[in-house]
Structure 1
């Protein structure tokens, strides 16, 4: 039998995971009131566990087996958490709030696509992946935030997820390619005459073509931010601040990439902690970054 102390410890563990591993999202999560902050931390800690399976070093068959196991464990919630602290916290949050736990299935589907080496021919194909791995988190988060018009809010949360994931894809272009992953659609690579072939750890494509490819994707991501941020007026003040902080950090990251598109080929583009804190502070007072 799970006690109140067990649940409190479980939430503390999830908040610990979030603080240590959610370098960008933690700035927004901390703006929430305690009950919502704890619930969103439980969602993040669960998502982190799923992502870690996909990004880990196990053979593909073992990764898929682990993903199937966590899918089955999530399907047993909220009734049976197996004594796992992360699942204990998530189960408690799902009892208190209308969190659509089924959205984790889509996250798992996206991670399975990574494991099997799926590539994407068109942007519509890539949008499916972005919706799985990032839009799902937006919809899970809506269960914590609440919204004045859930029917309008859900597709906007999806759109914001697409924007965030496109930014991640650009930021991690080299790292993903080293790991054998190409996310950018084949139709876009053909359009700009790029292959993303690596030669001694660096892209072999002409720099000017790479720059145009990255700029094009950055413009696309910016359009998805414009759409997704229409979600903010549908949220309460603190939930809107949380969302604006998370999106604001990634949007500024995207602006850096757009200003110097070849930067992503040299090193991992990031924002300093003080800039992230500044974005979060502005979000809390209702001002965009």
Structure 2
């Protein structure tokens, strides 16, 4: 049987591979909280990969949901690193089970929905796939004040998911998904035909900027309650927000090319940004 230390190490290897930004930010936490974040990320990554990388995502997601229900009932697969680590997390923190279930519902939306009509629809999707992550993390990051931070965690999830959407327009298009809401496309005169042709024209830039400025508004809102976090949690939460927000400026610096370029903040730039913004 795998021990908990090995399980956490395996979970950390997953976040190291898939999200250097989050790994860099949350490495600032004390060990126990850091390990809990790795375990929660491993859960989220598993659900995400089922939908993005699996030939039969609907069936696999159903199996995963059943496995999670088994986990909640105490029937834990002790050979699986994510479940073993997560069992330890659930034993030590007052976890929000509804957030985990809502995350699974969000991944179902990716299977069923290929486009979105309104910006409100995009926010609803963003809540399910991103704000839920913040709600999962809150009992770990702010065990005594997490009830005061629910709204800001939701806002930060909105901000980060809209950033993902704006960074991954081309990649999502290849998967047959469009997260740019129809109402904003219509508002700026940007058509599906233009999108399919990957036209980076003035209409697209106006559409992209409107969504980016909404994301920046949500980042600002999320940071208004940073003082409610314990001192040890403030740097990683603020750091994650700052580093993710910086992706928007990377896209701007690349003349809004989100079709043929993967925009990211380099390791060197991350350190510069953190040193400039962290107090």
Mapping of 1:82-231 within 5 angstroms? 82-83=77-78, 84-146=80-142, 148-197=144-193, 202-204=197-199, 207-231=201-225
The answer on 1:24 being equivalent to 2:27 is no
Contact 1:218-1:257 within 8 A present in 2 as well: no
Deviation string for 1:81-128 (max 9, x for gaps)? 212211110111111011213312111111111112342111111111
Contact 1:81-1:87 within 8 A present in 2 as well: yes
Q: Secondary structure at the match of 1:71?
A: helix
Residues 282 and 37 of structure 1, relative CA distance in 2, 3 Å threshold: farther
Paired with 2:28 and 2:184, the residues of 1 have a C-alpha distance of 38
Q: Secondary structure at the match of 1:32?
A: coil
Paired with 1:180 and 1:197, the residues of 2 have a C-alpha distance of 14
CA RMSD of aligned residues (A): 2.0
Q: CA deviation at 1:265?
A: 3.2
Where structure 2 has 5 or more consecutive residues not aligned to the other structure, the ranges are none
Paired with 1:193 and 1:16, the residues of 2 have a C-alpha distance of 44
Residues 202 and 272 of structure 1, relative CA distance in 2, 3 Å threshold: farther
The answer on 1:278 being equivalent to 2:247 is no
Aligned pair partner of 1:80 in 70, 75, 78: 75
**How many equivalent residue pairs?**
277
Aligned pair partner of 1:234 in 218, 224, 228: 228
Paired with 2:193 and 2:50, the residues of 1 have a C-alpha distance of 26
Residues 124 and 228 of structure 1, relative CA distance in 2, 3 Å threshold: same
Q: CA deviation at 1:139?
A: 0.5
Paired with 2:44 and 2:272, the residues of 1 have a C-alpha distance of 26
Question: 1:46: which partner in 2?
Answer: 43
Deviation string for 1:25-72 (max 9, x for gaps)? 1011100100000000000011001000111140xxx21121122122
Bigger mean CA offset, 257-266 vs 103-112 = 257-266
Paired with 1:250 and 1:167, the residues of 2 have a C-alpha distance of 7
